[in-house]
Amino acid sequence: MKEKQFTVLDSEAKEEIKFNIFIKEKDIQKKIKSIGKKISKDFKNNEKPPILIGVLNGCLFFMSDLIKATSIEMEMDFIKVSSYRGTSSTGNVRLIKDISAQIVDRDIVIVEDIIDSGLTINFLRKHFNSNSPSSISIITLLYKKEISEMEIEPDYYGFIIPNKFVIGYGLDYKQKYRRLRDIYVIDE
């Protein structure tokens, strides 16, 4: 049986945080199938396969399910960044692990679990642009459209969600709870 609520014990803060079920596994998978179909159609006449670049760690399940939902050849690579946010909205993104693929004259597709402030994706677009790919597309499963300060819109997204903290399906709270098959939203 699916848990409708999920309680997180934050041992540092010594408090319990309640999360409610938000997007069910079935609906996540349905949406991924439709994104998979779209990208297969959009890239099917490519001379060279697109390179999917997953943003670790959150992209883990999404990237895997997305690739399985496509019907074209794709290459893949991964990048890891960390973003620091002070009290103001201006944050700083730091590169932790870069890709190893050569992206010159290739179509690349960045795969994100969630776009929140948009800082990470803006940083990544600039980072990859300096290596002259033919094109850069952006896929995100979740999109906090209200608050994100995106320089451009993502090309593909799963769900537009409100500005609330979510966990599960790769998304973490203090590095935990990524394993959950459904996505849960904080109870406020």
* Residues annotated catalytic, as ranges: 116
Binding mask 78-117 for Mg ion (x = CB under 5 A): -----------------------------------x----
Judged by beta carbon distances under 5 to 8 A according to partner kind, the member of Mg ion, ligand IMP, none in contact with residue 165 is ligand IMP
Q: What is the CA radius of gyration of the chain?
A: 17
Query: How far apart, in whole angstroms, are the C-alpha atoms of residue 60 and residue 188?
Result: 27
Closest approach of ligand IMP to the CB of residue 91, in Å: 7
Tokens for 171, please give them: 């998304």
Among 114, 136, 139, 183, binds ligand IMP (CB under 6 A): 114
Closest by CA position to 132, among listed 152, 102, 95, 156 = 102
Q: Which of 122, 125, 52, 62 is nearest to 91 (CA)?
A: 122
Applying the rule CB under 5 A, the residues between 23 and 82 that interact with Mg ion are 58
Toward ligand IMP, which CB reaches closer, 39 or 124? Answer: 124
Tell me if 115 contacts ligand IMP by CB under 6 A: yes
Does position 70 bind ligand IMP by CB under 6 A?
no
Closest CA to 104 of 131, 136, 68, 71: 131
- Is residue 112 close enough to count as binding ligand IMP by CB under 6 A? yes
Q: Which of 118, 133, 154, 168 binds ligand IMP (CB under 6 A)?
A: 118
Q: Which residues of 102-123 are buried (b: 16+ CB within 10 A; e: fewer)?
A: ebeebbbbbbbbbbbbbbbbbb
Alpha helices in 44-86 (DSSP H): 60-68
| Contact footprint for Mg ion (CB under 5 A) | 58, 113
| Contact footprint for ligand IMP (CB under 6 A) | 55, 58, 83, 112-120, 165-167, 171-172
